[in-house]
Amino acid sequence: MNGVFSEHFTIGGAVNSSTVLGSRELIVKHFGSLTAENEMKPMVIHPRMGSWIPYGADEIANLAREHGMGMRGHTLVWHQQTPGWFFSSMGAQASPEVLLERLEDHFTRMQDRYGDVVYAWDVVNEAISDAPGEFLRPSPYLEILGEDYIEEAFRLAKRIMPDAKLYYNDYSVLDPAKQDKIYTLLSGLLEKGVPIDGIGFQGHWNIYFPDSRTLERGIQRFAALGLDVQITELDVSVYRHEDRATRLKEPTPEILELQADRYREIFQTLVNNSQYVSNVTFWGVADDKTWLDNFPVSGRKNWPLLFAEDHSPKPAYYAVVEAAGGN
Ligand code: G3I
């Protein structure tokens, strides 16, 4: 049975070509939804103009199909992992028309190949700036298409993927200043009738953050706009972002307990608000492979997931089962 953790929302995981090989058993046992960690991003799908390399994405989509799982499509419009050729034409910056044609072509190919299995798309990822006083993040999309690029991306997605749920996805959604900016963006778009179904809270959190009240307030604030909330990239780092100088050889039992407590509190809050939350996706499978081994400090080991490096369940696993259900 898939999605064993919760009857309240679908539990998913981000997978890649390597974890599909090395962690298949855990994936099939515990997840009811898959996200391709990198394989559906434009940089991987067509790194050069005219190239079309969907093999990694195919492998993940086939695993999902084989086991009756759905997929969250990640991600269509992002300032990272999009190849430079998208934004240039004959040695100069591409015109808005050329960029929109490329987006239309990309969206169409993704829909034609994965529309049967992808039920939700992260249409726009991380468009809001972290800098005080700056609203949208500078990016080639903003430069070429102007501030309406977000609206245009959602309208295009609705036309090409009419049956998929469409999400705006971002990190630090619980940071008060950033949350206000995201709220302003999404409420403004919704007022204009832009087809947005939900917000993705990425959920790159740590053993001290977030507390239940902050998480609940964030969920309820966006739900009040009529948006579905999904936790799209959950992991709980053993380091705070600012602890760059700390480097553990291995996680101590105390840290594993703190991590379990944080996961328990997060899942209790999600269950208490489950009428607003439809999916919770972990950003990885087990601690042997996590993007946090290279972020924010390159080469520093981290242990943010529910399963240890040898794939045995950690205290965090039992805490989630206790809070959300499952076995
Ligand atoms: O595939 C190449 C490999 O050929 C090369 O040898 C190696 C050398 O560095 O790089 C490999 O590519 C890496 C790729 O992951 C696949 O492992 C890239 O350098 C690396 O930058 C890339 O990182 C990904 C990152 O997005 C890109 O910004 C992470 O795996 C992925 O977890 C991360 O995911 C993002 C979400 O999409 C959006 N939200 C934040 C989240 C974490 O950053």
The first and second tokens of residue 244, run together, are 């760059």
**What's the rounded mean pLDDT across residues 60-67?**
98
5 pLDDT tier (thresholds 50, 70, 90): low
Q: Ligand 1 centre from 200 Cα, in Å?
A: 19
User: For residue 7, what pLDDT is reported?
Assistant: 82
326 pLDDT tier (thresholds 50, 70, 90): confident
pTM score of the predicted model: 0.97
User: For residue 315, what pLDDT is reported?
Assistant: 98
The first and second tokens of residue 41, run together, are 């991003």
User: For residue 2, what pLDDT is reported?
Assistant: 41
The CA distance from 264 to 320, in Å, is 6
**What's the rounded mean pLDDT across residues 73-77?**
98
| Residue type (1 letter), 232 | T
The CA distance from 222 to 81, in Å, is 28
Residue nearest to atom 1 of ligand 1 (CA): 44
The CATH number of domain 10-324, selected from 3.40.30.10, 3.40.50.2000, 3.20.20.80, 3.40.50.10420: 3.20.20.80
The CA distance from 106 to 45, in Å, is 9
- Condensed to tens digits (0 to 9), the pLDDT of residues 133-145 reads 999 999 999 999 9
Residue nearest to atom 41 of ligand 1 (CA): 233
Continuous H helices in 250-314: 253-272
User: For residue 262, what pLDDT is reported?
Assistant: 98
Complex ipTM: 0.95
Please answer whether residues 18 and 284 qualify as being in contact, where contact means their C-beta atoms are separated by less than 8 angstroms: no
Residue 184 predicted with pLDDT over 60: yes
Residue 6 predicted with pLDDT over 90: no
- For residue 282, the surrounding DSSP H or E stretch is strand 277-282
The CA distance from 290 to 302, in Å, is 8
Residue 8 predicted with pLDDT over 70: yes
- To test the pocket of ligand 1, the residue of 44, 45, 288, 291 to mutate (highest count of ligand atoms within 8 Å of its CB) is 291
| Token pair 């419009």: residue | 77
Residue 3 predicted with pLDDT over 80: no
User: For residue 1, what pLDDT is reported?
Assistant: 39
Residue 120 predicted with pLDDT over 50: yes
Cα 170 to chain centroid, rounded = 8
Mean confidence (pLDDT) of the chain:
96
Residue nearest to atom 29 of ligand 1 (CA): 291
**What's the rounded mean pLDDT across residues 202-229?**
98
**What's the rounded mean pLDDT across residues 155-168?**
98
| Token pair 């829909």: residue | 111
Cα 120 to chain centroid, rounded = 11
152 assigned to active site? no
Burial class from Cβ neighbours inside 10 Å (0-12, 13-18, 19+) for residue 71 reads buried
37, 151, 152, 233: the catalytic one is: 233
